[in-house]
Amino acid sequence: MDILTREFYARDTLTVARDLLGRELVRVLADGTLLSCRITETEAYIGRLDKACHAYGYKRTPRTETLFAPPGTAYVYLIYGMYHCLNFVTEEEGEPAAVLIRGAVPAANGTMIAQNRFGCKLERMTAYQRKNFLNGPGKLCKGLVLTREQNGLDLTGPGGGLYVLPGVPPDPSAVRAGRRIGIDYAQEAVDFPWRFYL
C-alpha cells in the first residue's frame, strides 16, 4: 500500500487542503471490513492566525491538544453534541493547523457506507439521499463510522485503521476555492477562501 506519508501532511495547510482532493480515504473497521471514499471537499484551519480554528492563538485545551500533534494525526471532534468531524493535522508538530474533510464520494463498499448513513442499501437510496450522501463532515463520519475514538490516530500507517492513499488527483482546472461554511463567528476569517472542492 502506498499510504500518504507524514511528509505529505507536514506542509503548508492550504497546500495540503488542496492536495487532498481526489485522494482515497480508507477506513478499516474492527472486523476487517474496508470502507473507502474519494475526497471531494476540504477546509483549511490555521491556529496562528485563523479565528475559526479551535486553537486560534495557540489555545491549548483537552479538546485542542490533538491539533498540536505530529502532522498526519487524525483530529476528530464532536459538534452540536451529535456530529463528528474528521480533520488531518498539518504543518510541524506544535503548530496547530489541520484540514477538515468536508465531503467525499464512495469508492469501495458503498453499500455498507449507505447502510451506516441511512440504514438501507446503496440501490435503495432516494434521490435526496444520493444528493446528500457524504456531502458534509458529519455525514462522512457517520458513513465511515468515525467517532472521537479515532481522535489521535496516526494516519501514516495501516495500524490505526484510518489512512489515505494517493488516489487520482484531479485536473487543477476542476478545483474551486471559496469561503468556509458555518463559521459566522470568526470575524475577518469568515472571508478567507480556504474551502477547496471539486
What are the pLDDT digits (tens) for 112-130? Answer: 999 999 999 999 999 999 9
Q: How is residue 148 annotated by DSSP?
A: G
What's the grid cell of residue 128?
Answer: 435526496
What does the block give as the cell for 21?
482532493
Q: What is the CATH number of the domain that holds 131?
A: 3.10.300.10
Identify the residue whose cell numbers are 482546472. Answer: 173
Q: Which H helix or E strand runs over 15?
A: helix 13-19
Q: Give the pLDDT of residue 3.
A: 97
Q: What is the mean pLDDT of residues 92-109?
A: 97
Adjacent-strand bridge partners of 24: 38, 165
Above 90 in pLDDT, residue 169? no
pLDDT at 1 over 90: no
Backbone region of residue 67 per phi and psi (left: phi > 0; alpha: psi in -120 to 50; beta: other values): alpha
Q: What is the dihedral sign for C-alpha 87, 82, 49, 40?
A: positive
Residue 81's pLDDT band, with cuts at 50, 70 and 90, is confident
Number of domains in the chain: 1
pLDDT above 90 for 42: yes
69 has pLDDT over 90: yes
Residue 108 lies in a domain: yes
Q: Is residue 184 part of a domain?
A: no
Q: Confirm whether 194 is domain-assigned.
A: no
CA atoms of 75 and 68, how far apart (whole Å): 10
Of all residues in the chain, what percent carry a pLDDT higher than 90?
94
Closest CA to 140 of 47, 71, 74: 74
Q: Give pLDDT tens digits for 116-166.
A: 999 999 999 999 999 999 999 999 999 999 999 999 999 999 889 999 999
How confident is the model at residue 138, as a pLDDT? 97
In-domain check, residue 191: no
What is the value of pTM for the model shown?
A: 0.95
Asked if the structure places residue 146 within a domain, the reply is yes
Give per-residue pLDDT as tens, 57-67: 999 999 999 99
Q: Are strands 162-165 and 24-28 parallel, antiparallel or unpaired?
A: antiparallel
Q: Is residue 94 part of a domain?
A: yes
Looking at residue 113, its pLDDT comes to 97
- Residue 82: band (very low, low, confident or very high) from pLDDT cuts 50, 70, 90: confident
| Residue 75 domain-assigned (yes or no) | yes
Model confidence at 80: pLDDT above 90: no
Contact 113, 35 (CB under 8 A): yes
How many angstroms separate the CA atoms of 191 and 154, rounded?
A: 31
The residue segments making up the domain with residue 110 are 6-165
- In this prediction, residue 65 carries a pLDDT of 97
Identify whether 83 is part of a domain: yes
